[in-house]
Chains A and B, each alone.
Chain A
Amino acid sequence: MRRFRMSLPLSMIAWFCIFLLYVPSAAVVFFSVNDTRYGLSWRGLTLDWYRKLFGNEYILEAARNSLIVALVSTLIATVIGTALALGLHRMKKPGVIDLLVNLPIVVPDIIMAVALTMAFSFLRAFSSLFDMGFFTLIAGHVTFQISFVALTVRSRLATMDQDLELAAKDLNARPAYGFTRVTLPLLAPAILAGAMLAFTLSLDDFIISFFTHGPDSVTLPIFIFASVKRGVTPEIHALSTVMLTATVALIIVAERLASALGSRSRKAAKKGLSAVKAA
């Protein structure tokens, strides 16, 4: 592609956008190392708030809850979502089902939260499992994660080269064997990308968790929101800084993993093919 020169005022708008996007995070980091509890002026560097943060059992519990919910829901959603994508790919006319899968993406999240609340309150009549708590929180997260995993895996299924699969077929591989040895390795990067997306969405989610959590399952975003209502303390700035850092780390890891797997997936599938040949 031909590159071109931008005029100065337009370039300045671009930098202004980045400035706007990063000013809030910068402020949080700034106040997390500022040595004062109330004022907003600079009083010198301190790491006190971080020490207090790691001694605050409520925060630690919320962090643990967030991680448990994100891990468990991502695991479930990745399996169900991948299966859904494979199933959808084999259907002749997905039509209505396609619409269903896209629903969590097009429905505003507050409506989705309302829908989940209604579903759980109805199901509560049959089982106490649906009392607001970890189970409902995880079920809510899985519901929106499935779609993102399914769409990611499905787009890979639709675009990937089929030569290796065809070769496996020609070698009379049993479907299950050929699938695990050839198709699955080819799909691995997409499954991983879907899982990473699901994990980030779960860690980040506020509104759906806000509606479906119980007293025992407060997650970090809910905890921060509640603290904002009560009046923020510097520990919250420290906590937010840790979360910001974790987000950046997660994005970098995802990027690395994706490029590593992307280049290796074909190799792995070829290896699988030679296993098919040997069998």
Chain B
Amino acid sequence: MDDLSGFWNTARGDSVRRGGLTLALALPGLLCLVVFLAAPCVSLVLLSTATRGEFGNIQWTFTLENYKRLIGFNLFGWSPDFLLIMLRSLREAFFTTAACVLLSYPLSFYIASRKSVFERFVWLVMLTVPFCTNVVIRTYAWQLILGPANPLAKLASLLSLQPPGAPLYPGFFAVYLGMITTFLPFTALPLYASIERMNWWLPLAAKDLYADRWMVFKQAILPQTVHGLYVGVVITFVPAMAMYVVTDILGGAKYMFVGNIIQHQFSQARDWPFGAAISIALMALTLLSFALFKTSRLTRKGEMY
């Protein structure tokens, strides 16, 4: 095999010197990733069992106090504040992802249905530009649109959904609007990639067999696009769960999310051990959601396909 492998592959660990070259090439990058990322991630676990000293310093005592605090036990008894924030983040990430998937299917199909290559290219660029646009800009822009003098807020007060002269932010509506518009390209781009590669004879055959629209989608389209869907859901859900910018600018202090309390613990509150505990909880929740998603009937079916 080695003889057939390319020029660069020929060296596959056959002599010490070349093995050394492999290591030397990979070393700077690996060192950077270990020192700045992997090691601190592991030490987050240790840090989460420490306590905050009087001046925000870290005292290395082994305790589960931070986790107790996270599930609501504090000096004054029990309050579900932090649990509610976790739950809110989970719900927000879930609905954002769901909305993005629901919008991405028609959007990706529409792009795939364009006949000229150029037209499809233009649509893809239209999705890529917001994907690369700074999230701070795109988020504060919603503040402008939802401002009290603009049509949307006026309409809301006309329907007496809110007092006249008030902006539509901060609030859930604003947060979801910001979240969905931030993540739509994340879901749509991978989904489009798998729709573009789809075998179109299958849905047509299903239609010939008198399957209704839902059955055509469920049996002939979904299993073929489940890989792109999976990638899209992952790269939407993970950052949505940990979002800071959108929830901070459009949610405000009244609607805290996990990302916001982590940031708070590491800055103003100077309580790193508690921040570490929340970070670990966030990672655990994210991983758990994926375990559930991966074993769900929908994805299993796609793998069987």
Contacts and interface: CB of A to CB of B under 8 A. Distances in A.
Nearest to A1: B200
A25 B106 contact: no
B305 interface: no
Interface string B3-46: 01111111111000000011111111110111111111101100
Interface stretch (A46-54, A57-65, A106-114, A260-268): A106-114
Given A91-B26, A108-B239, A119 B259 contact: no
A218 interface: no
Given A6-B109, A21-B130, A111 B7 contact: no
Contacts of B6: 162, 165-166, 169, 183
A240 B184 CA distance: 21
B168 interface: no
Interface in A71-113: 80-81, 83-84, 86-92, 97, 100-101, 103-104, 106-112
A75 B164 CA distance: 52
Contacts of B127: 21
A228 interface: yes
A118 B249 contact: no
A118 B40 contact: yes
Interface residues on B, range: 35 or more
Interface stretch (B67-75, B78-86, B140-148, B155-163): B140-148
**Prevailing SS type, chain A contact patch:** helix
Given A103-B37, A251-B132, A13 B106 contact: yes
B44 A206 contact: no
A14 B12 contact: no
Contact of B7 (A4, A108, A115, A166): A166
A39 interface: yes
Contacts of B266: 114, 117, 211
A146 interface: yes
Contacts of B32: 80, 139, 142-143, 146
Contacts of B113: 3-6
5 A-B pairs with least C-beta separation: A87-B26, A165-B7, A162-B6, A24-B141, A84-B29
7 contacts: A91-B22, A111-B44, A111-B279, A111-B283, A225-B245, A228-B136, A240-B137
Interface of B: 4-13, 21-30, 32-41, 43-44, 47, 103, 106-107, 109-115, 125-130, 132-145, 147, 149-150, 177, 180-181, 184-185, 188, 196, 198, 200-201, 238-239, 241-242, 244-245, 249, 259, 262-263, 266, 272, 275-276, 279, 282-283, 286
